[in-house]
Amino acid sequence: MTLRRRVTVGVDAGAHARPVAELARLALAHGSPVVLTTRAGEAADLTSVLAVMDLAIGSGDEVVFEVADSPGAAALLDALEAVLSRR
């Protein structure tokens, strides 16, 4: 089963280098693949900073995080959401 979390980006500058690097760090530490998908349907592996930045996610955009249901997956989604919802 896959867990999904829809998040509205609250970071004023959008998904720029610093928050994307933090997202990648969290995904790598979790160990399971995490996919970020935009409203337009474009997707990227969250561990690839360049792939995520290539999506050009701006403030106010809606994205979906997807991760396999595993121990710590819900906490990971909470942490990912916290990174992108900051203002």
pLDDT in the model for residue 57: 94
Please check the confidence at residue 87 and state whether its pLDDT lies above 70.
no
| pLDDT for res 11 | 85
Residue found under tokens 């995490």: 34
The predicted structure's pLDDT at residue 13: 82
- Give pLDDT tens digits for 6-51: 999 998 888 888 999 999 999 999 988 999 999 999 999 999 999 9
Task: Phi first, then psi: give them for residue 65, nearest 5 degrees.
Answer: -95, 140
- Reduced to 3 states, what is the DSSP secondary structure of residue 61? coil
pLDDT at 46: 96
In order, the DSSP letters of 32-52 are S-EEEEETTS-EEETT-HHHH
Residues 51 and 19: their CA atoms lie apart, in Å, by 14
Task: Say which CATH class 2-85 falls into.
Answer: alpha beta
